[in-house]
Structure 1
Amino acid sequence: MQPTYDLSQVEVRRSRRRARTVTAWREGDRTIVAIPARFTRAQEHEWVRRMLTRLAAQERRRRPSDEELAARAADLSARYLGGRAQPTSVAWSTNQGRRWGSCTPSEGTIRLSDRMRGMPRWVVDYVLLHELAHLLHAGHGPEFWAELESYPRTQRARGFLEGVAYAADRNGAADDPPGGTSGGAVDDEDPAVDGPDAVVALDELEPA
């Protein structure tokens, strides 16, 4: 069965300058789908359906459940920490304050701030790894940071989080993060890294 969508909340934007891409993103309660001006009505309907499906799939990736979060932590521990960090539980939390995550080594529990839901997966992965490393090293000494050296996006993720925190402080409130519910655009170039723009190549633009 094909999923159904509320098309009354979808705005289609045609552009003569857009010849090789289709893009979809959220603006508040609306979904914007940008298409080439040359598209027929049949092509428009087909690509609205496709892009809504892709956008929904990306949002599911960005909002894992507690169970999916725990499974992701187990995978990250095996990949980057030799499976040595084995938490007893991993879950989202709404009472982290300004922290992105927390770890209680004595209990083996890890909590991630609910504010991170909607952030790119590689950022969530970094915070998960950070807290997993605390199961091995309580402080932030050289041994702790050495555990994170094998993760290739450590510095990029730290910069992302610092930018989000700076923007929130500057605005006086915690706004939706970049890539969150108000702006996350579909990106199928690299499923492991949710990028800021949707890029669908020309060879995909003609419906079968």
Structure 2
Amino acid sequence: MPVKVIRSAKRKRTVAARLNAGVLEVRIPGWMNKSEEDDAVADMLQRVAKRTVSQHTSDDQLEQRAQELNAKVLDNKAQVGSIRWVSNQNTRWGSTSIATGDIRISDRLQKVPDYVLDSVIVHELTHTFIPGHSKEFWEWADRAHKAERAKGYLEAFARFGQAEESAEAE
């Protein structure tokens, strides 16, 4: 991943990083030496990679995560026929067949933070027992951890093709 280091005389203690158009911008205090800069960049690369890459890249991992979320978030109300990644969904993040309980998740989500993927999975799981987007539907779907934040992430991702993720350290 390309890195751009930005030194700032105003920044006193903190190091911050943000992905911007595929470049990791690392902001550091101006007083840091080259060794401290290298350590800060390595730390931020590790933090952003950890936040950005989902650990659920196979269909089996996706199914396991859906089962965990169904139990933890939805009180096992969802009836899943199958869940798998697909590459033919370019306008949706996921889809559910209410008749069969089959769920398809866009493979564009394989590298989003876990809370974003979890929110989409919970959304689709909720469709297995509540069709449509009624008030009751959203009461269940919004039980996902950081659901509102995930919606914002997906909105930015859809609009710009790549959402920004940031990390902060002191």
* SS of equivalent to 1:199: strand
* SS of equivalent to 1:82: coil
Q: Tell me which amino acid in the other structure corresponds to 2:168.
A: V
Give 1:65's aligned residue: 57
Query: Equivalences for 1:25-174 in 2 at 5 Å?
Result: 25-28=18-21, 30-61=23-54, 64-66=56-58, 67-141=60-134, 143-148=136-141, 150-151=143-144, 153-158=146-151, 161-162=154-155, 168=159
- Normalised by the length of structure 1, the TM-score is 0.65
Change (3 A) 1:154 1:32: closer
Q: Tell me which amino acid in the other structure corresponds to 2:62.
A: L
Cα drift, residue 77 of structure 1: 0.7
Q: Matches of 2:98 and 2:74 in 1, distance apart? A: 16
The percentage of aligned residue pairs carrying the same residue is 36
Q: Aligned pair count?
A: 169
Q: Matches of 2:147 and 2:39 in 1, distance apart? A: 39
For each residue in 1:56-108, what CA deviation from the matched residue of structure 2 results, as whole angstroms up to 9, or x when unmatched?
222223x6313333222222111121123242432222222422210123333
* SS of equivalent to 2:53: helix
- Normalised by the length of structure 2, the TM-score is 0.77
Q: Matches of 2:43 and 2:149 in 1, distance apart? A: 31
Give 2:13's aligned residue: 20
Q: Matches of 1:51 and 1:152 in 2, distance apart? A: 24
Q: Matches of 2:138 and 2:21 in 1, distance apart? A: 38
Cα drift, residue 138 of structure 1: 3.2
In structure 1, list runs of 5 or more residues that go unmatched: 1-5, 169-174, 186-197, 202-208
* SS of equivalent to 2:5: strand
Q: Matches of 1:149 and 1:49 in 2, distance apart? A: 35
CA contact (8 A) 2:94 2:104 kept: yes
CA contact (8 A) 1:118 1:177 kept: no
In structure 2, list runs of 5 or more residues that go unmatched: none
Cα drift, residue 119 of structure 1: 4.1
> Which of the pair is proportionally richer in strand?
2
Cα drift, residue 145 of structure 1: 3.7
**Aligned CA-pair RMSD:** 2.9
